[in-house]
Amino acid sequence: EDSNVDVIIIGAGMSGITAGKTLTANGITNFIILEATDKVGGRIRNSDFAGYEVELGANWVEGVNGEQLNPVWTLAQQVKLRTSLSDFSNLSSNVYTASGPLPPQTDADAITTAQNEYVINLSVNLTANGDDDISVLTAQRSYGSVPSTPVEMVLDYFLYDGEYAEPPRVSSLKNTQPGPTFKNFGEDLYFAADPRGFATIIKPVASYLQSKDGKYVDPRLKLEKVVNKIVYTKEGVTVSTEDGSTYTAKAAILTVSLGVLQSKLIDFQPDLPFWKLEAIFEFDMAIYTKIFLKFPYKFWRTGPGTEFFLYADDSRGYYPIWQHLERELPESNIIFVTVTDDESRKIEQQSNNETLAEIMEVLKSMFGPDIPEAEEILIPRWWSDRLYKGSFSNWPIGVTHHEFAQLQAPIDRLYFAGEHTSALYNGYIHGAYFSGIDAGKDEITGKINLRCTNQTGIRHT
């Protein structure tokens, strides 16, 4: 299959689908979308588990009930997505150690909260004074104490790693604290648990590809097309896929994850310039893994204020964050544990049975030896997946706004979008959404229109 179009969008996640919508709104309809998998949605993806639908990737609409309206929340309303408000307020009363549950940890909680307030204030001051960036850990040290007991460490892990999937040692203070997501859109998080899958929120954006009954029927959407080569010049692009197809266009919008850009999956000709590669390699692709477990019956606490619970191990980040689904999937007896970073890498490489054995040992120390064995386990492997190579980007210490701008910058007719190109909201669905709008807008539509004028004298409207 060979064809010639105005624009090639690579990737049918939130950013690629939004870019297509924006092109459409600007009068450019002669585009195609090349997507490697057989689905729309990318990192918003559900899977059947023990007869229920669970989310392997994004799970929350993050940043709700604040000053500005999060566009993802608007989409969720449009499709009447089933969600529930996550309640983290009682967390420090739900901490377990290797020898069982702890009494409510009011002290440790107060310390973590006070320290986080200090860290945020310091960040605001550094920004106001135009001072250099520091890591979150440096800010914690300057507070006077760093979390060091298992309980302090797990509360700290929840606050930072639980959100950014990398430890305070790695994360940029000025670009993660306070997170613009929560500052602008609000502090609340809504957990998606919808039998249609969270990816249903993309449907209102993708109406230009659908039939009246919501099926993806438009032939411009080309699934199971793994792009492996992009030749770009000042005049246009030629994109090749693994099945031997070649597509030429006046421009391409590349929305593959930062992890894919850091890999060798796509051969760029000529090589991407060093300033671009440097920005790509400097930014971080973090790993966030939710491991789902199905039990024959519940042995965890249920009722208000029990949804989230923490395991405080001597080793920071060892099966730390737990969540039950009593409200969302009441009779399912499914719980899940979240790990990140090196623990995720380790778990992706060992067998599911090895991981299950580790998890059962942890659960037995939390709840006693008499708990039942898990009936099923589900472990997403985002890091090993060549189409993602991680879960979402995190802004590490050492990357300036100038370097970030280089991550976003186009090269000739090759444009970059995706969550990792959103300066305020990298790592989030809404970041992907805004990046798709930006990529579809001004510059690219302007250039394509200009080129049409030069070549044919007819201007697109």
49 versus 96: smaller Cβ distance to ligand FAD: 49
Nearest CB to ligand FAD, comparing residues 150 and 427: 427
Binder among 21, 31, 35, 139 for ligand FAD (CB under 6 A): 35
Closer to ligand FAD at the Cβ: 115 or 338? 338
Would you say 40 or 399 has its CB closer to ligand FAD? 40
Please, which residues have CB within 8 angstroms of residue 328's CB and are 6 or more apart in sequence? 82, 84, 191, 193
Q: How far is the CB of 16 from ligand FAD (least distance, A)?
A: 6
Nearest CA to 393 out of 401, 379, 384, 404 is that of 404
42 lies in the site for ligand FAD, by CB under 6 A: yes
Q: Which of 5, 266, 312, 335 binds ligand FAD (CB under 6 A)?
A: 266
**How many Å apart are CA 313 and CA 339, to the nearest integer?**
13
**CA dist 59 to 239, 262, 265, 289, 383, Å?**
32, 25, 27, 11, 17
Q: Is 348 noted as a catalytic residue in this protein?
A: no
Q: Do residues 174 and 400 lie in contact, with contact meaning Cβ atoms separated by under 8 Å?
A: no
Measure CA of the first residue to CA of the last residue in the chain; give whole Å.
29
The answer to whether 26 and 444 are in contact (CB under 8 A) is no
How many residues bind to ligand FAD according to rule CB under 6 A? 41
For ligand FAD, which residue of 120, 146, 223, 265 counts as binding (CB under 6 A)?
265
- Which of 49, 322, 415, 428 touches ligand FAD (CB under 6 A)? 428
DSSP β-bridge partners for residue 38: none
Strand pairing report for 267-269 and 227-232 = parallel
> Among 6, 21, 57, 135, which residue interacts with ligand FAD (rule: CB under 6 A)?
57
Q: What is the DSSP letter of 441?
A: S
The neighbour count for residue 426, using CB atoms within 10 Å, is 26
Kindly write out the interface string for residues 368-387 of this chain, putting x where it contacts ligand FAD by CB under 6 A and - elsewhere: --------------x----x
Binding to ligand FAD in span 276-295, by CB under 6 A: 288
Counted residue by residue, the chain has a size of: 461
| List of E strands, 56-167 | 60-64, 83-85, 95-97, 100-101
Q: How far is the CB of 41 from ligand FAD (least distance, A)?
A: 7
Query: What is the spatial distance between Cα 96 and Cα 116, in angstroms, rounded to a whole number?
Result: 22
Looking at the Cβ atoms of 293 and 432, the one nearer to ligand FAD is 432
DSSP reduced 3-state for 347: helix
Give the whole-angstrom CA distance, residue 368 versus residue 100.
7
Positive or negative: CA dihedral 88, 89, 91, 92: positive
The backbone torsions φ and ψ at residue 308, rounded to the nearest 5 degrees and listed phi first, read -105, 135
Q: Which of 1, 53, 55, 62 is flagged as catalytic?
A: 62
CB of 334 to ligand FAD, least distance (A): 16
218-237 binders of ligand FAD (CB under 6 A): 225-227
d(CA 220, CA 208): 10
> What is the x/- site pattern for ligand FAD, positions 320-339, by CB under 6 A?
--------------------
Among 22, 26, 59, 323, binds ligand FAD (CB under 6 A): 59
| One character per residue 233-262, x = contact with ligand FAD (rule: CB under 6 A) | ----------------------xxx--x--
Q: Which stretch in 9-17, 271-279, 350-358, 448-456 sits in contact with ligand FAD by CB under 6 A?
A: 9-17
Could you tell me the smallest distance in angstroms from the CB atom of residue 73 to ligand FAD? 11
Query: Which is closer to ligand FAD, CB of 140 or CB of 175?
Result: 175
Q: Judged by CB, which is closer to ligand FAD: 87, or 301?
A: 87
Distances (CA, A) of 61 to 42, 70, 209, 298, 447: 16, 8, 24, 27, 34
Residues 398-427 that bind ligand FAD (CB under 6 A): 418-419, 427
Q: Is 43 in the site for ligand FAD (CB under 6 A)?
A: yes
Residues that bind ligand FAD (CB under 6 A): 10-16, 34-37, 42-44, 57-60, 62, 225-227, 255-257, 260, 265-266, 288, 382, 387-388, 391-392, 418-419, 427-429, 431-432
Which residues carry out catalysis?
62
